[in-house]
Copies of this chain bind each other. A is one copy, B any other.
Amino acid sequence: MKILIIGGVAGGATAAARLRRLSEENEIIIFEKGEQVSFANCGLPYHIGGVIEERSKLLLHTPTSLKTRFNLDVRVFNEVLKINKEAKTVEVSNLITKETYTESYDKLLLSPGAEPFRPNIPGINSNKIMTLRNVADMDRIIAKTKDLKNIAVVGGGFIGLEVAENLVEKGLNVTVIELGNQVMAPVDYEFAKMVQHHAAAKNLNILVNTGVEAFEEKGNEIELKLNNGTTILADAVVFAIGVKPENALAKSAGLDLGVTGGITVDDFMQTSDSNIYAVGDAVEVSHYINQAKVLIPLAWPANRQGRIVADNITRGNKISYKGTLGTSIIKFFDLTVAATGLNEKLLKRYNIPYRTVTVTRGNHASYYPGATNIVLKMNFGEDGTIYGAQALGQEGVDKRIDVIATAIKGNLTIYDLQEIEIAYAPPYNSAKDPVNILGYVAENMLNDDVRFINYDQLDDYLLNENAVLIDVRSKTEFENGAIPNAINMDVDTLRDNLDFFDKNKKYVIYCQIGLRGYLAQRILRNHNIYSVNLNGGYGLWKPLNS
């Protein structure tokens, strides 16, 4: 069998290696229009910052090593111009010799990836504006920013923020400009706010709700005209507002495209032509939670799909791809931020009713040195279905999100989260994991054992319900900063002060993270006093209001 693969990174490279392991006989040719195959694209920002010191470490394989080890025919600087699906051939241009030639195939795999989105803004073609997709782009950013001082990064997504962090670590002045009302789309607003506070502490300037209307070169600098009427000057711009699937080849070949513009594939990753498969950032996938058609350009799905396609090509369509959960993670200075499944923004967009719970707990036993807090949020349904989770902290964030992603794949509910028997010793955890706690609190909510309001409901609730705000932390904590108009009553004194409370009034309780607030609410509740607890406590409210 003769198998052609278009695109030699992530999904394409994975498929090729697996295809070879499954058969020594197939002829496998990889066409890559760039210089490199099988490079570590997720590592690019870290070489810009010097964290990954050696550029060569990013080049996981070369055409020669792929030939030697896997007997693959890898053709870099070879761009496929056209697919003739009836004839089962492709037309290829050798970008070095400028020659064009035809290759036939039995099976064709499209793994073209996605390209940085560059809208038609005046001045966008300035060579002071760079994007980051491959090793050549990375080299260009390193070379161009070498002796510069002020860099503007347009786009506050993962790539924008990773590049920004790395440039700051190199000592540059960086401003991130984000059109939306928050950075880091996979997490909800309050998490993005915490990220933005952390950025400020690291001297990274982030402007949200800010768009670029035009670029204009001014001598050695470039001016960004912003949609708020102001301008900023930079020495160079990294443009990273997102990516769009490379669908041109598929489209011109007459393959079906989805509503998102991604290449349409079935469960076996087969396109509308049965001899052509497609994987990675270029395909439209079903979201694992609700089967919505989405583009989720991440490395894990690309690799998984590549493996599946290799099996399906070699052994017939037997393995199906079950959809993408969108688990993602970013290191951002001292923080780790991660998410899986559907966030509140998406749940609202899809009209899925949900509840949300936020807990703050140590990454490990508080009495063991070095404990730091994780803020962990989960969105779930009335029936206990887990829709998604988000986490932020310094250590142990990845573990909790991976556990929840696993729980979702196991169809575990919020009740089951309580029963996840984690590995506990003081350096690693507490005897109740934050994930267990999420399950407990979520059940308390569904049982109406605890009532929450979210940070964005607080002001309206206080006004509309004429409610009284009670801070149940210690006097010292209260005096160090509290929500305006709160009355301080330490949870430990509550039982002695029940006379204070009016059974005809409503109370909003908060503490630092929600734990003492929960106990306070239980005490009041057991005395028939109505209260609601502020989700996430003062710890979450503070960054949202400063």
The interface of chain A, by Cβ under 8 A from chain B, is 10, 20-25, 40, 42-43, 46, 51-53, 57-58, 60, 68-71, 158, 288, 298-304, 307, 322, 324-331, 336, 338, 340, 365-369, 398-399, 401-403, 405-407, 409-412, 416, 418-429, 431-433, 436, 440, 449, 491-492, 495, 518-519, 522-523, 526-527
Q: B42 contacts A491, CB within 8 Å?
A: no
A397 to chain B, nearest CB (A): 8
Q: For A24, A58, A420, which residue has the most chain B Cβ atoms within 10 angstroms?
A: A420
Q: A43 contacts B409, CB within 8 Å?
A: no
Q: B322 contacts A367, CB within 8 Å?
A: no
Q: Which residue of B lies closest to A366 (CB)?
A: B57
A303 to chain B, nearest CB (A): 5
Q: A398 contacts B429, CB within 8 Å?
A: yes
Q: Which residue of B lies closest to A51 (CB)?
A: B369
Contacts of A158 in B (CB 8 A): 425
Q: A431 contacts B299, CB within 8 Å?
A: yes
Q: Report, nearest first, the 3 A-B pairs whose CB atoms are least far apart.
A: A410-B410, A329-B423, A24-B526
A71 in complex: contacting residue of B366, B406, B418, B495, CB < 8 Å: B495
A476 to chain B, nearest CB (A): 16
Q: For A40, A398, A416, A523, which residue has the most chain B Cβ atoms within 10 angstroms?
A: A398
Q: A43 contacts B367, CB within 8 Å?
A: yes
Contacts of A432 in B (CB 8 A): 300, 303
Q: Given the complex of chains A and B, what is the CA–CA distance between A403 and B412 in angstroms? A: 13
Contacts of A410 in B (CB 8 A): 406-407, 409-412, 416
Q: B407 contacts A423, CB within 8 Å?
A: no
Q: B300 contacts A424, CB within 8 Å?
A: yes
Contacts of A327 in B (CB 8 A): 421-424
Contacts of A46 in B (CB 8 A): 368, 426
Beyond A70-B519, A300-B431, A304-B421, 9 additional pairs, beta carbon < 8 A: A24-B495, A43-B365, A298-B424, A299-B431, A300-B424, A303-B432, A336-B428, A402-B403, A409-B420
Q: A325 contacts B527, CB within 8 Å?
A: no
Q: Given the complex of chains A and B, what is the CA–CA distance between A328 and B421 in angstroms? A: 9
Q: A329 contacts B398, CB within 8 Å?
A: no
Contacts of A303 in B (CB 8 A): 431-432
A215 to chain B, nearest CB (A): 30
Q: A340 contacts B492, CB within 8 Å?
A: no
A302 to chain B, nearest CB (A): 7
A181 to chain B, nearest CB (A): 24
Contacts of A495 in B (CB 8 A): 24, 71
A299 to chain B, nearest CB (A): 4
Q: Which residue of B lies closest to A60 (CB)?
A: B367
Q: Given the complex of chains A and B, what is the CA–CA distance between A410 and B432 in angstroms? A: 19
A44 to chain B, nearest CB (A): 10
Q: A46-B368, A409-B410, A522-B21 are in contact. Are A423 and B440 (CB under 8 A)?
A: no
Q: Given the complex of chains A and B, what is the CA–CA distance between A336 and B424 in angstroms? A: 12
A304 to chain B, nearest CB (A): 7
Q: Given the complex of chains A and B, what is the CA–CA distance between A21 and B24 in angstroms? A: 65
Q: B419 contacts A409, CB within 8 Å?
A: yes
Q: A331 contacts B427, CB within 8 Å?
A: yes
Contacts of A20 in B (CB 8 A): 522
Contacts of A302 in B (CB 8 A): 431
